[in-house]
A and B are shown apart, each in its own frame.
Chain A
Amino acid sequence: MTIFLQATAEGLALGAVYSLVAIGFVLIYKAMDVLSFAQPALAVVGAGLISSLAIDRGIPFWISLILGILLTGLLSLIIERTFLRPMVGEPVFSVAVLTIGIDILLRTVLDNWIGLSPRYLGDPFPNFGNFGSITLNGVTLKYLEISAFFTGIFVIIVLSIFFKKSKYGVAMRATSLDQEAALAQGIDVGRIFGLVWFIAGILASMAGFFITGGFNTLTQFSFISALRALPAVVIGGLDSISGAVVGSIIIGLTQGYVGYFQSNLETLIGISLGSGFSLLAPYLIMFAILLVKPDGLFGTEEVERV
């Protein structure tokens, strides 16, 4: 039972982290109709910026954290303005491929900087002891996981109010449905795109911190963790924020349970699943769900008149 609780807690924390990246995916998809493959790269770039400020430059951790997150938001804004704005009106497919290019560009630069040794991101609570943890009823929770969980919940609540109740949410949907008509209503389409990319950049870098903070460290492979938000959004449906959150929790829990119970599962079915199975499992879940619901759990079904 303790192991089960431990796996659940870790899974939920992971889910919260993935949902930060996943919400970025969804926001961009809702505004531009494009799946931006640059999100995972922005997450690790954000982590790199924090590490560079906090460790290499010796700037106090909290300042580095906030600066790094804001800089990533800014970088995301610049990417939108320089690479994506000229593509307005181009086929969605070309824009999506362009985001793959941006992803490769960002990661190449970052990987060069990271090099071979892992990078630390600094310690938020030196007084508590290095990257500490607490134990409750035998369940050990890292501070990093707890803060990831609560940050995730906080961000989800704030953003859902923002996009459900404020003019930006409706303007964003209008922009994605019909740019010309949106312009005729006085909606500054470019500003909506900028806003969405800025928020997506901020969210990605927050996730980047939680993925690589503490003993996790930033390496050239950290980005694979951020990429796991992709099956999460596909499961949830590309255009639904709540779907992104549910998808992320499913992926997080899957990863948690597989991590702890893989050996039990293997004895049960009598096949060895291999050491990387917890990385693979999210994608299997994604396939299974897509077989039943091709638009994801919460996605809008595509209806086309024939």
Chain B
Amino acid sequence: MNNLVFENVSLKFGGITAINNVSFEVIPGRLFAIIGPNGAGKTSIFNCISGIYRPTEGQIKFGDNHLNLLRPDEIANLGIARTFQNIELFENMTVLDNILIGAHRHLDYGPISSLIFSKKVRNIEVEARKRAEDIIDFLEIEQFRYSYIMSLPYGVQKRVELGRALAMDPEILLLDEPAAGMNNEETEDIARFIIDIHEEMKKTIILVDHDMNMVMDIAQEVMVLNFGEKLAQDEPKKIVTNEKVINAYLGGGS
């Protein structure tokens, strides 16, 4: 199990500073939440972790690996899975295929053996399918197994994306606004899944969300960002009473 460490990370686009000198550490097994107003840099942090953006300054380490130096697919193969704020599923594919793609890094065979479709390949594929079925059961999307993504409602798509990330069997799961645009009932479902993933599957989770109730309910540690800067990092109980946070985010006047 590896720690994810941000050391003085900054990310600049021309004159705009998306992340300004942010440091934090996520200990294995944590359910770590990042909150902040729109444009605070939450998703930029995710994009830096998964290698879509390169930090302008600073280091991102995952155990002994310097994530700044790796390609997005190499980072994913270290066991860092993510979901996206605007669902990025493969729309013209079925739910099952989307989840199987998540398991890509565990399908350990080369082009030659798959050309002859050897016994090893068959076993690996059968195993992957079994795990995909477990995930489908877990997320309660059995009836959508063979449905195409574009035909599914938003809430179900969000779940499938979670399933695809789970299929990677990651060490760290980055969830970018899993409850965005959902009604109360769907939010509760997602919260339940996140808790189960955290407690039963023992995954480290970094969660970005706007839904304060959910974040405060389920997170063990919360980091607050504002305009790319870190305001506070603490357990949820203390965050809600932190003055800087109240001023910036939870509503200054009250």
Contact = CB atoms under 8 A, between A and B. Distances in A.
B43 to A, nearest CB: 13
Interface in B111-132: 111, 114-115, 117, 121, 125
A300 B84 CA distance: 26
Interface string B61-76: 0000000000111001
Given A185-B164, A195-B111, A178 B76 contact: no
Contacts of B88: 178, 180-181, 184
Interface string A65-80: 0000000000000000
Contact of A185 (B92, B101, B115, B125): B101
Contacts of A185: 73, 76, 81, 101-102, 104-105, 164, 168
A106 interface: no
A121 interface: no
Interface in B175-222: none
Given A162-B114, A165-B117, A300 B101 contact: no
Among A165, A168, A185, the one with the most B-chain Cβ atoms within 10 Å of its Cβ is: A185
Contacts of B82: 184
B90 A177 contact: yes
Interface residues of B, number: 34
Q: Indicate the size class of the contact surface on chain A.
A: 20 to 34
B8 to A, nearest CB: 25
Interface string A259-303: 000000000000000000000000000000000000000001001
B93 interface: yes
16 contacts: A162-B114, A166-B117, A167-B107, A168-B114, A170-B97, A170-B100, A173-B90, A177-B92, A177-B93, A183-B73, A184-B84, A185-B104, A186-B76, A186-B104, A187-B73, A189-B73
